[in-house]
Amino acid sequence: MTCGRRSPMPRYKRPAVHLLYLSLLKAVAIFFAPSPTRLGFFLSLPLQIQKNLRKKGTRYRGKENGSSAAGEDPETPEGMKETKAGKPPQHLSVIRHCDLVERLGSTSPPQGQSGFLPVFRSGSCSEMGPKPFMEDEHICIDNLVEHLGALPDFPSLGAFYGVFDGHGGTDAALFVRKNLLKFIIEDSHFPTSVEKAVKSAFMKVDHAFADSCSLDRSSGTTALTALIFGRTMLIANAGDCRAVLGKRGRAIELSRDHKPNCNSERLRIERLGGMVYDGYLNGQLSVARALGDWHMKGSKGSACPLSAEPELQETTLTEEDEFLIMGCDGIWDVMSSQCAVTMVRKELMIHNDPERCSRELVREALKRNTCDNLTVVVVCFSTDPPPCIEITKSRVRRSISLGGLHLLKGALDSN
C-alpha cells in the first residue's frame, strides 16, 4: 500500500512546483488587493497547497491552472490582453515644431463635420518692467468687419491680434502695429490666399519702414500675429514672441522662437554670410528675424542674415481649443508655455475674464524677476469658461519582484 502511494510521486513532482507558484501568485494578488480576508488566506495557504497535491489526476496545463507559456493571464479581461507591457505612452504637453502640430491637428474632425464656431473675446496687458523704456506694442481686434467695414469677399467672422517687441526705440514697433493689417488687406492675394498675403505684407511693411524718412531706420521689432477667419487661424511669427494654444489644459506652441542659437536659424545665418557670437546675430542682435534694423540689412532686396520673412502655421479650431496666449519674450524667459496655459485656464474657471488673465501672467513674470518689457494678449474662443477636466481612473496593477517571490516561498516552506 505504501508503494502504491509513492509510485505516482515522480509524476507529480513537477506539477507541485507549478501549483506552489500558482498559489503564491494568487497569494500575492490577494495581498496587494484591499481585502479583509487576505490574512486568513495566508494562514490557510499551506493547507490549501497540500489539499491540491492530494487531488487525484491533477496535471499541469498552463492555460487552465495559471500563466501559460505565452505569458497570458487567465484573470485578465479580454480588452487588456493586447496591452503591451511597460509604462503608458507619455503625451507631450508642449509641441515645438510646426510639423508635429499639423499631425496633432489632423486628428481633429474636418471643418464641415462640426458645427463649432468660435466667439472671440480678448484681453491684454503691457508693463514696462525693469527696463527704463517701454518699447512693446500690441493690437487686439475681436471683430474685423466692425473695424474695417464691409469688404468684398470678406468673411463675416474674423479677428486680428498682434504683439510687437521693439528694440532700439519704439519707431519700428509702432509703425508695424499701425500698418501691418492694412498691407494684409490690400495685398492682391487677399482673401483668396491668406498665407501669401500675410507673408507679402510682412516684407512690404518692412520695406515701407525703411523708406520712411522721419523714423529711425536702426529701430527694430519682432512681430507675432494671429489672423482668424471662422475656424481657421493663421499664426505668423518673425522673432522670439510666442503663440501658445490652450487645448483642454495642454499647451500647444504654434510658433517657433527665432533665436540665433537655434540650429535651423544658425545654418541660415551662416549660409548668408552672417555669424552667431555668444548667442547674438553678428554679435549685435539677440533675434534671428526682425522687421526694421536696416543698419544691419543693407540695401532692400539683398540677401541678409537678418530676415523679416515670417514662419506661418495654420490651425483649424475645434471645441477643445479654449484660448490663445500671445506674449513677448519677457514672459517666456521666466515661464514655460505649460505653466502659462495652466495659469490662464485656472483664472478663466474663476472669473472668465481674459483681461484679468493677461494681468496675472504679467504679475507672475514680474515676481519671477523678468528683465524685459512685458506684453501679453489672451484670446478666448468661447463665451463660457473652460470646463473641469475629469481624469479617468485607470486600473492600477501592482507587482512583486522575483526576489520577493523567493522570500515568500521560503517563508511558506519554513512553516
pLDDT of residue 235: 99
pLDDT of residue 301: 73
Local confidence band at 16 (pLDDT 50, 70, 90 cut-offs): low
Collapse the DSSP code of 202 into the 3-class scheme (helix H, G, I; strand E, B; otherwise coil) and give the result. Answer: helix
Q: How does DSSP classify residue 160?
A: E
Residue 96 has pLDDT above 60, yes or no: no
For the chain, which domains are there?
Answer: 2-73+410-414 (no CATH), 98-380 (3.60.40.10)
68 against 265, higher pLDDT = 265
Residue 237 pairs in a beta bridge with 224, 311
Q: What percent of the chain has pLDDT over 90?
A: 61
| CA 224 – CA 311 distance, rounded (Å) | 10
- If you search the block for the grid coordinates 464691409, which residue do you land on? 150
Whose CA is closest to 377, among 340, 338, 327? 327
What are the CB-based long-range contacts (under 8 Å, 24+) for 194-199? 194/227, 194/229, 194/234, 195/234, 195/312, 195/314, 198/225, 198/227, 198/234, 198/236, 198/310, 198/312, 199/236, 199/309, 199/310, 199/312
Is there a contact between 106 and 96 (Cβ–Cβ < 8 Å)? no
In this predicted structure, the answer to whether residue 375 has a pLDDT above a threshold of 70 is: yes
Letter for the amino acid at 183?
F
The pLDDT value recorded for residue 18 is 55
Q: Is the pLDDT of residue 116 over 80?
A: yes
Q: pLDDT digits over 146-174, tens only?
A: 998 877 777 778 999 999 999 999 999 99
Q: By C-alpha distance, which of 158, 347, 285, 294 is closest to 234?
A: 158
Q: What pairing do the DSSP bridges indicate for beta strands 232-238 and 250-253?
A: unpaired
Range name among 7-16, 311-320, 390-399 with the lowest pLDDT average = 7-16
Q: Do 372 and 330 contact (CB within 8 A), yes or no?
A: yes
Q: Residues 353-371: what's their mean pLDDT?
A: 98
Q: Find the mean pLDDT for residues 62-76.
A: 40
Give the chain's mean pLDDT.
80
